[in-house]
Amino acid sequence: MPDEPLHDPKFSLPDSLIGRVVITNLDRMYNWGRKNSVWPMMFGLACCAIEMICTQASRFDLSRFGMEIMRPSPRQSDLLIIAGTVTKKMTPTIVRLYDQMTEPKYVIAMGACASGGGPFREGYNVVPGVDRFLPVDVYIPGCPPTPEALLHGLIELQKVIDGQSLRTAPWYRKGDREIQIPALWSDLVETPPAPQRSEGPKA
């Protein structure tokens, strides 16, 4: 389904209808709307956040992807870009912000620090990868990733969204998907295993 034209219904049409009638299905229409209106949260942690800010500015311009401006509140956002080093002390706050975001919601780990701890991986205060406590949809390598790399990651996220189906997406099912806020101790964080996405290609 990703990268396929929206109007291709995947079955043959009578000649009299070709070019006159557009047929698609609900999943593709729904995903087309969602993938072109992702609202990222205005939230950065360290040097990678500067690249994220550049990506939003005029030279690169996220508006071309329907992402317009970054939202200052988790309740108006459906994309959390973890841009920077994640310290253990920050994890309860990050999980709380994620829980407050509206569903369907997505997470991008931007850069080496967010993806695996980066150059500070062995640090006593650094989380070696945000996927220890959040379900990550797209990982972007680099230290820092360039704005072009973030744009590529966002395009990959659009493919993930395009691969989802209303029939199987967890967002419209019953059940509590809130992530438990990690418990902070003197020098460590106790985290439950992060839930995994149940569908759509991983990028």
Interface contacts to ligand SF4, rule CB under 6 A: 46-48, 84-85, 111-113, 118-119, 143-144
Q: Whose Cβ is closer to ligand SF4: residue 47's or residue 155's? A: 47
CB of 113 to ligand SF4, least distance (A): 3
* Token duo for residue 35: 């993938």
Of the chain, the end-to-end C-alpha distance in Å amounts to 15
Residue 28, Cα to own-chain centre: how many angstroms?
A: 19
Run of H or E residues at 110 = strand 106-110
Q: Whose Cβ is closer to ligand SF4: residue 40's or residue 111's? A: 111
CB of 66 to ligand SF4, least distance (A): 26
CA–CA distance, 114 with 133 (Å, rounded to integer): 11
Q: How far is CA 167 from CA 29, 30, 87, 196, 199, in A?
A: 14, 12, 37, 18, 11
CB of 144 to ligand SF4, least distance (A): 3
CB of 124 to ligand SF4, least distance (A): 17
Q: Whose Cβ is closer to ligand SF4: residue 123's or residue 170's? A: 123
Q: What is the DSSP letter of 108?
A: E
Q: Whose Cβ is closer to ligand SF4: residue 84's or residue 147's? A: 84
